[in-house]
Every structure is written in C-alpha cells, then in structure tokens.
Amino acid sequence: TDIDAFIAGLPKAELHLHIEGSLEPELMFALAERNGVAIPYASVDEVRAAYDFSNLQDFLDIYYAGADVLRTRQDFHDLALAYFDRAAADGVVHAEIFFDPQTHTARGIAFDTVIQGLLDGMAAAEAKHGLTSKLILCFLRHLSEEEAFATLAEAEPWLDRIAGVGLDSSEVGHPPAKFARVFAAAAGKGLKRVAHAGEEGPPEYVHEALDLLHIDRLDHGNRSLEDAALTARLARTGMTLTVCPLSNVKLCNVASMDVHPIDAMLRQGLRATINSDDPAYFGGYVGENYRAAAHARGLSKDDLTMLARNSFLGSFLPDADVAAHL
Ligand code: HPA
Ligand code: ZN
C-alpha cells in the first residue's frame, strides 16, 4: 500500500534491539551444526512453533536457551551482520543495539569474544550498508548487583566502544533500585543509561528508573500511561520511549495491535519511537513493526514521520549527526 511504501522510504534509527533476539532459527541451526551443539528442536518449523508466549518469562526461557549456539567471535559477527542486513533493508541507517554479556560469560564464553565479534559485525555493516551503530551493555536484572559490577569491570578495556548500559530480563521483582549503585558507577565512567521499565512492571519502576538510575532513555515504558503525572513528566522532559509493538502483543502485554497505545503516546506528547526488540522471536523487524502499528491504529504519514524523527532525536548520536538525519 501507499503507507507501506511511505514507511519503507523513511530513514530510521533503531534504539531497542537485543542482538541475541535477532537469532533466526535458520542461523540457530547453522551455528548448532558448526559448533556441534545439540538443540532441542528437529526443524526450523518446530522452533517457530515454540514461539508462542504468554508473558515475558516464557519468552526469556527460550531466548536464553537459543543463545547457547553462539560460541565464537565469528558467530557473534554473523549474528550481528545478519541483523544489520535486515535492518538496512527496512531503511534503518543507525542502530543502538543491546547485548547481554552475562548470558555468554555464564556459559564460559569470554566477554572479549562476544564484543569483538559484535564490533566486527558493526564494522562490516558500516562498510556494506553505510549503517552506523552503537553498543549498549545490558545487565540481567534477575542476577545480583555484585554480578552486574563484575560485568562492568569486564567491560573496562572496551569502554570507548560502549555507548551506555541498560537493564533487561525479568522485570517484576527486580526493580531498578537494585541497580542504583552500578548505574551510578557506569555514569561515573561516562556511559549513557537506559533501562527497561513499565513493560510488565508498574509505573513505580519507571519512577525509580528516572530518579535512581537517572536514565537517558526509557525502554518500553508502556505502563507509564497508568500514571497521569508520570506521563506528563515524561512528556515535559522530552524522554524518549523505545516502544516495541509486535513484542507487546507477542508477550501479551497489549491484548492486540488494534488496541496498541502508540498513537495515544504521540497524542499525549511523548517522544515515542518504534522498534523491534527481539525480531526473530516476535515476528518482524522494524519495518514490520511500523506497518503493523500503522495499519491497526490508522497512523498518518505525519505520525510516521514523527516516529522516525523521534528515533534520531532519541539516539546517542552527536547533535550534528542527529541534525543531518532530520
Ligand atoms: N524485556 C526484558 N528483557 C528482555 C527483552 C524484553 O523485551 N528482550 C530481551 N531481553
Ligand atoms: Zn527489550
């Protein structure tokens, strides 16, 4: 349709993408074979059939298991480049991608192996597509504060290649307050801060992310809408929300795309963006997220332009680069 063509032609930044969540079943099988790793699925179709989630934890269990096929620097390069190829095809010109080092170091894969492979993939994407990117190191919030500090220490030699820190994994029961000290330490090293909050957790977790983690960007943030004063604060301060429509529906945080609040967020003056989260698991890359939300919610070309513009305004690019993309 006309709207689909308009979306395809919009230059975009992607600000909420877990690189481990871009592992397509085909690559999972290829890496399992290359590395001699057994996987509990007989076929690609069987893998896809397993992607039927009723909440975040359901998904996380399968997502962490899938990551076990990632072993070598080459694997992380291949994973990243496969994502960037898909993103470039959707008009993404800049991506700020999450990685979860603890998912790998817990299995005996060195931090350096992971980050070197990802950096190789990022360099390849810039050479191949002109697509620029940044890395955001996420702490797994179901693990301890002490383990987060150990991960930050492992990142020390790479700090000039890491834009910021984030917070992901099981939200409820692991409030932002648990990581206030490690985020303060990260800030002291000059790192930006983002956190998943208000995906499944209550608006109080968004308040904590703002007041205790001093976040520069809010990942998801949907449940902020339950708190009018919080919504007004996010709008007034120009906080960017990295919204992930297909993820919200797949994880049953939104009943269906027909009732997704993306347009309500824009009407309330929030700087919302559209992102893919874990595209291999949730049924689509960033273009599909734009299309699904646009069709279900009747987004106009002005709305879509605003969403894409917000993605650059909310990025960690220098002001001159943001201006060049607007
Ligand atoms: N939420 C929390 N943790 C995650 C997600 C998510 O959507 N994706 C990967 N890790
Ligand atoms: Zn996420």
pLDDT in tens, the chain (326 residues): 899 999 999 999 999 999 999 999 999 999 999 999 999 999 999 999 999 999 999 999 999 999 999 999 999 999 999 999 999 999 999 999 999 999 999 999 999 999 999 999 999 999 999 999 999 999 999 999 999 999 999 999 999 999 999 999 999 999 999 999 999 999 999 999 999 999 999 999 999 999 999 999 999 999 999 999 999 999 999 999 999 999 999 999 999 999 999 999 999 999 999 999 999 999 999 999 999 999 999 999 999 999 999 999 999 999 999 999 99
* Minimal-distance CA residue to ligand 1 atom 3: 169
Range 129-168 burial, b when 16+ CB lie within 10 A, else e: bebbbbbbbbbbbbbeeebbbebbebbeebeeebbbbbbb
CA dihedral 92, 319, 160, 60 (to 10 degrees): -40
- Gap from CA of 169 to ligand 1 centroid (Å): 5
Tell me, yes or no, whether 311 lies in a domain. yes
Question: What tokens appear for 259 in the block?
Answer: 């009732």
- Gap from CA of 254 to ligand 2 centroid (Å): 15
* Closest ligand by atom to 248 CA: 1
Tell me, yes or no, whether 194 lies in a domain. yes
Tell me, yes or no, whether 247 lies in a domain. yes
> DSSP letter at 221?
-
pTM, to two decimals: 0.98
Query: Residues, the chain, total?
Result: 326
* Minimal-distance CA residue to ligand 1 atom 4: 169
> DSSP letter at 209?
H
Ligand 1 cavity residues, CB under 6 Å: 18, 21, 56, 168-169, 196, 199, 247, 277-278
* Minimal-distance CA residue to ligand 1 atom 10: 169
- Gap from CA of 23 to ligand 2 centroid (Å): 14
Which helix or strand (DSSP H or E) is residue 213 part of?
none
Tell me, yes or no, whether 310 lies in a domain. yes
**Domain span at residue 175?**
2-24+76-325
Q: Which of 59, 95, 114, 40 is nearest to 249 (CA)?
A: 59
> DSSP letter at 52?
-
Tell me, yes or no, whether 49 lies in a domain. no
* Closest ligand by atom to 63 CA: 1
Number of domains in the chain: 1
Q: Is 16 annotated as a binding residue?
A: yes
- What CA–CA distance (Å, rounded) separates 304 from 194? 24
Tell me, yes or no, whether 121 lies in a domain. yes
Provide the total of helices (H) and of strands (E) in the chain, helices listed first: 17, 8
Tell me, yes or no, whether 37 lies in a domain. no
- 190 in the Ramachandran plot: left (φ > 0), alpha (ψ -120 to 50) or beta? left
Whether 126 is catalytic: no
- Nearest atom within ligand 1 for CA of residue 169: 3
Distance between alpha carbon 231 and the CA centroid of its chain, in Å?
A: 22
Tell me, yes or no, whether 197 lies in a domain. yes
CATH number at residue 165: 3.20.20.140
Q: Which residues contact 29 (CB under 8 A, 6 or more apart)?
A: 39, 44, 47
